[in-house]
Amino acid sequence: MTRSTLLYLGMLVLVSVGFEGIRRVGNTLTPPPHIAGQWSLSASSSSSSCPLLEFVEAGKESVQVEQSGRYLMLTFSDIHRTQLHARLNDRQLHGSGPSKVTCAEGKWLYLTGRLHGGSLEIVLTHSQEMSSSAAPALVLLATQTPSSDPHPLASP
């Protein structure tokens, strides 16, 4: 048996053992919860003359969540298809994106959220300080649509 063959066999054993070790450690890790897909929205409160999102039809509001682990892209079904980048840390959402509503043009839209079991509570505001009472806020409650497809371009 040549040196290279021995090296090869040794490496094979080492890698197998190593991979098993990695697998075991990996199985103890807790990745972010899977929230990708279509979520139906219901506005529970809104307090503004200039709306934060302009939905066409009441009752058909939704948000598409594209997830890459902690990193989320939320696309609302409003007339402007508003998109916000967000992060998911410990079931808490934080994100932002440009507001596309005409009356708030140039303003930035901030998002906070919380995952409660199967529902998602989202708060949108123009102020970075969420506690600020001066800034109008839109509170949305999202529930996941059962048939939502997490990979829009993927095979059915």
Partner 1 sequence: MPPEKVLLLLTVEIAVIIAASRLLGIAFRRLQQPQVIGEIVAGILLGPSLLGWVAPEVAATLFPPAVLPSLKVLSEYGVLFFMFLVGLELDPALLRGRGRTAVVISHVSIIVPFFLGALLALFLYTRLSSDAVPFTSFSLFLGAAMSITAFPVLARILIERDLLKTKVGAVTLTCAAVDDVTAWCLLAFVVATVRAAGLHQALVTAGLALLYIGAMFFLVRPFLSRFGSLYENSGRLSQNLVAVVFVLVLSSAAVTDLIGIHAIFGAFMLGAMMPKEGGFVRELTEKVEDFAVVFLLPIYFAYTGLRTQVGLLDSPDLWLFCSLIIGVATLGKFGGSAVAALTTGLSWRESAALGVLMNTRGLMELIILNIGLDLGVISPVLFAMMVLMAIVTTITTTPALAAIYPLEQLRAELLEPEAMRAGTPVLVPVALASSGPALLDIAAALAEGDTPRIYALHLARPLERGTLGARQHQVPPSNQDALGPLLTHAQAQGVEVHPVVLVSRTPGADICDVARAKGTRLIVMGWHKPVFSQAMLGGTVQQVMKGSAADVAVFIDRNSPFPPQRILLPYTGTVHDRAALTLAARLTHRFEAQVTILHVVRPGRPHPRLEQEAQSALIQEFPEPAGGHTRLVVVESTRPAETVLQEATGYDLTVLGVGEEWQLEPHVFGLRSERIASHCPSSLLIVRTREHAVSMPHVENDDRHHSAVSPSV
Give the alpha-carbon dihedral of 4, 7, 11, 12, to 10 degrees: 60
Per CB under 8 A, does 84 bind partner 1?
Answer: no
CA–CA distances in Å: residue 24 to residues 14, 19, 47: 15, 9, 50
Please work out the total of residues on this chain that contact partner 1, with binding judged by CB under 8 A: 38
Per CB under 8 A, does 10 bind partner 1?
Answer: no
Q: Which residues pair with 72 in a beta bridge?
A: 67, 86
CB of 122 to partner 1, least distance (A): 18
CB atoms within 10 A of CB 94: 15
How many angstroms separate the CA atoms of 67 and 33, rounded?
10
Segment interacting with partner 1 (CB under 8 A) among 2-10, 98-106, 113-121, 139-147: 2-10
Among positions 93-112, residues that touch partner 1 (CB under 8 A) are none
Per CB under 8 A, does 150 bind partner 1?
Answer: yes
Q: Which parts of this chain interact with partner 1 (CB under 8 A)?
A: 2-5, 7-8, 11-12, 15, 18-19, 22-23, 25-27, 29-36, 66-71, 73, 85, 150-155
